[in-house]
Structure 1
């Protein structure tokens, strides 16, 4: 990593090379949503320094940097294109939601793969608790963020009935927990 650090320092210390790097970043960042050229350049530096991106020997630093930025920009575009948020749909805010001219920006933190995994987990949970009405109700209470006495009260259960249903539910969910630990 010290070689990568030294090469990047040399590049940054040379005004002409650094200007070229910024120009290349602008070209690679063209069309990226929520990513500026500076963000892309910084991301490339971080990934190269951390070793997440390869630094081949005897290759000019600008070539390595350009290749890294190209890959990062490509990944960002894929994530944007395949993401759950459609950025072509206009979102209107209710009156009073915007203050001081602030803009509402959609930020996607969940990938399609995570969505698919969550959907399959939910289907598995529904299958596991099917037929046990009390356990199904406890799942619904938990989904609403209710636990313990609050959940029992909401469901109309006494604590003994709630605890029995909760323990059955925990046992039934062990296969889902095992899958989560594996991944």
Structure 2
């Protein structure tokens, strides 16, 4: 079996500092808005940084030369991947810092808080908010049966493969539906 060699860009394939500065200065309003939205999406749920921090960190790394822009990649796409990389680093850091075993949480009598949490009743206010959110999602996708089928599959705990099989979707169609769902939910709940 032959392994494929991964080609790393050479110095000639990556943009110089001046080219990066020029690319940053020539971003259009639409590009800046797209980068803002991408940064917001990457920071969703990430409490250690907001979208502005992520954008600033990405620009800093690119200008410092820590992230090198391959000329063959469009600049906005390169920045989007830089956002992804930085956000992934933060998620990994949080995951390691927040890893706790169930035995670390046990009370002095040996009772697991996970057991007691499972027995705790759901707060009525949270239940009302959850039902309202579900109703909004159903209304949002009522005219999109394919997206609704994917959402229902998620809700029932099916794997992506099971959802695709049950709905006759190819992996490309499934990925397209996921993007459409994410965009609609992001726009509606932002």
Normalising by structure 1, report the TM-score.
0.44
Q: Which has the larger radius of gyration?
A: 1
